[in-house]
Amino acid sequence: MGIHPLINFRAPVMFEEAAVRELCCLARRGYEAKFKKETFGFLFGTLSRDNHITIRRCLYYRGGEKSRTGVTFKDWSTITRLVRRRQELARRLRMRFLGNFHSHVEIAGEVFRGLSQEDRESFLYDPRAIIETIVFVWGGPFKANRSISGAIVGFEPKTSYNYRIRVYAKRRNGIRQVRAKVIPSGVVVIY
Ligand SMILES: [Zn+2]
């Protein structure tokens, strides 16, 4: 089966800062859960007339079986429920559903840095998902290299957790990572 690039949007994908914080917070909760868990949810925002995507909200979804290595939806009725739920949320928020997100958590010092086969398949066969977003979370000293990767990078001094957010799109030549950026809010909060 071929890939359907429904929308040829332009990179970078822009994230509101609040959405980035929410993604990191959800990834952290899963990371701190017993035996660790991946998180999962939906991305909402806008697609402008000139094909730019802005992510404004990230909402956690309770459905699905979450483990430290994946999130699974066991049958068609759970998938139907998921699709119905995100449509309902999009209507309520008056935003567009843009894709799903999940996390990859560090296990025994390693974090899986790409898309798994399951990740690729679920993204490919979800025609409404324009993008797929993964938040990688691991502990340890902060080393940033955002300029190379096109990812959004975060660090939490209190916990020493590192976060990296990567966005993937369906392109003609397959699933590709696309650049992601945070919209500068103009306000720096001092704690
Ligand atoms: Zn994954």
Question: Residue 56's domain is classified under what CATH number?
Answer: 3.40.140.10
CA of 187 to the centre of ligand 1 (A): 33
pLDDT tens digit sequence for 17-41: 999 999 999 999 999 999 999 999 9
Evaluate whether residue 169 is within a structural domain: yes
Q: Is 131 helix (H, G, I), strand (E, B) or coil?
A: strand
Evaluate whether residue 188 is within a structural domain: no
CA of 190 to the centre of ligand 1 (A): 34
Evaluate whether residue 189 is within a structural domain: no
Say if residues 165 and 135 touch (Cβ distance below 8 Å).
Answer: yes
CA of 102 to the centre of ligand 1 (A): 7
CA of 184 to the centre of ligand 1 (A): 28
For residue 188, the model assigns a pLDDT of: 80
Domain range enclosing 57: 10-182
CA of 186 to the centre of ligand 1 (A): 33
- Global confidence as pTM: 0.92
Q: What is the DSSP string of 129-184?
A: -SEEEEEEEEESS----HHHH--EEEEETTTTEEEEEEEEEEETTEEEEE-EEEPP
pLDDT tens digit sequence for 92-145: 999 999 999 999 999 988 999 889 999 999 999 999 999 999 999 999 887 765
CA of 50 to the centre of ligand 1 (A): 30
Evaluate whether residue 191 is within a structural domain: no
**Within 13 Å, how many C-alpha atoms sit on residue 14's CB side?**
14
| pLDDT above 90 as % of the chain | 79
Count of structural domains, the chain: 1
